[in-house]
Amino acid sequence: MAVVTARLGCRRIPKTMFASLFHVIGAYELSQVFTDRDLLVSNLIWGTGDLSFGMVIEFGERYMMTVLPFYCIFTSFGSILSDTKRFTTPPTISTFGYSNYLLLAAWLYFTVGRAILIRRAFNNVKSELLKYNDLWASLSSEQSRLTLQRIGETVSQLRVSSKPVQSRAHDPDSPLEASSSPLAWMLQRSQGGSFSLHAPSKSVWPLSKDPRVVSLDQLYAQAVFVDPIFRQKVQELAAESRGLFPSVLQGPEGSVECIPWREAMADEELEQRIRWAQMKSVDRAVEKLVRSYNSDVSRLLDVVRQCIVFERLEDLCECLERILGDPELVVMRIKNRLDPSFDARTTGGYRDVALNVRVVTE
C-alpha cells in the first residue's frame, strides 16, 4: 500500500505506512508488558526500540540512517539479554534472530556505497579543485587579504534570516486579466514552442493567511514579472562596480569569456553576446523540490538568478556594499565562500559570494 500511495502522488501516507511497521508494532509490544509477564523484558526492549525508531522515521526522516545502527544494536543486545536470562544460560541460534542483522547489513551497504560514490565524485573534480586552489593561492598579496577581510566584515554585519522563504507578492483580491498558467508558459517555452507573456488567472492564488508561496505555478508567475526588473537592477550594479557578464562565445581551450557591462552598454552587438542566466527550468525546480525541499515550494529561492563577474576583489567588495545600501534590494541570505575559513573541498574548489535578495518595487 505504501508503494501504491506513493505512486498516486501522496507524500505523507507512504512514510506513515512504512513507519507504522515500527511504531505501531512498538506500541503493541509495550502494551503486552502488562499482560505477558514471561516476555516482560523482551517486550519492553523491543517495544521501546520499535516505537522510538518509528517516531524517528515519521518525524525525523533525515536522521533515520544515523539512528538505524543504534536501533539494531539496542534491540539485538536486549533480546539476547532477555533470552539468556541476563547471560545465565547459553544462547541459541534462534536467540540471535535475523531481522536486525539484515537491517544492519542494509545500513552498511548504503553507508559504504555512499562513501565510495563521494570518493569517486571527489576524484572526478580533483583536477578542477587543484586549479581553483592555485587561483586562490594567487590572492596572497597583502592588499587581497585586506580586501577579503573587508568583505568578511561587511557580510558579518548583515543580519539575515537563517531560513528565508518565498512569499506571495500578489493580493488575491485584486483583479487579473484572464490568461494561461505561468507554469504552462514555462513548459511551453522550455519545449521550444511559441509563447506570449500573459498574467495568470486569479484562481492560481488561493485565499490564505499564510504569506508563503505554496504553488509552483504562482512562484513562476512572480518570477516571470520579476526577471526583467531584477536583470535591470543587476545591470545597474555591474555598471557602478565595473562588473562583467559571461559571453556566449568561448575563449581558448573552452574558457569562458566575460564582457564588461560598461562596454556593452555602448555597443549593441557586444550586448547581444552576453549570456544572461535564464530562469530555473520547471524540470529542475520539480527535481529540487522533491529531492531537497520535501515539496515545500516556498524554499525554492533561485528561480530568478543572475551572475556578475569581477576581475578585482575591490570591485566585488564595492558591489556588495552597493547592494547592502540599495533601498530597492533587501538581502535575505548571503553565503561568503571567499572566507579563508571556508572548506572549498565541499564545492570542488569553487568560491563566490552568493546572495538571495528581495526586490522592492513599491
If you ran DSSP here, which 8-state letter would residue 281 be given?
P
Q: Which helix (H) or strand (E) holds 247?
A: strand 244-250
pTM for the whole thing? Answer: 0.68
Is the sign of the CA dihedral 91, 92, 96, 102 positive or negative?
Answer: positive
Pairing of strands 256-260, 244-250: antiparallel
Least confident of 68-77, 190-199, 328-337: 190-199
Q: What is the pLDDT of residue 204?
A: 43
What angle (nearest 5°) sits at the alpha carbon of residue 111, between those of residues 106 and 112? Answer: 100
At residue 276, what are phi and psi to the nearest 5 degrees? Answer: -75, 145
Q: Which three cell numbers stand for residue 86?
A: 541476563
What is the per-residue pLDDT across 198-231, written as a single tens digit (0 to 9) for each?
Answer: 434 434 444 455 678 888 998 999 899 999 999 9
**pLDDT tens per residue, range 287-315:** 998 888 878 898 898 999 999 999 999 99
Farthest CA pair distance, the chain: 90
Going from the C-alpha of 347 to that of each of 123, 126, 129, 223, 278, the distances in angstroms are: 13, 11, 9, 27, 22
In this structure, what C-alpha cell is assigned to residue 238? 555591474
The string of pLDDT tens digits covering residues 226-258 is 999 999 999 999 999 999 999 988 766 667 889
Cα–Cα distance measured from residue 68 to residue 61, given in angstroms and rounded to the nearest whole number? 11
**40-59 vs 12-31: helix axis angle to the nearest 10?**
160
Chain centroid to Cα 36, Å, comes to 48
Return d(Cα 331, Cα 212) in angstroms, integer: 17
Distance CA 211, CA 298 (A): 10
For residue 219, give every residue at least 6 positions away whose Cβ sits within 8 Å of its Cβ, in sequence order, or none. Answer: 166, 213, 297, 300, 303
Looking at residue 63, its amino acid is Y
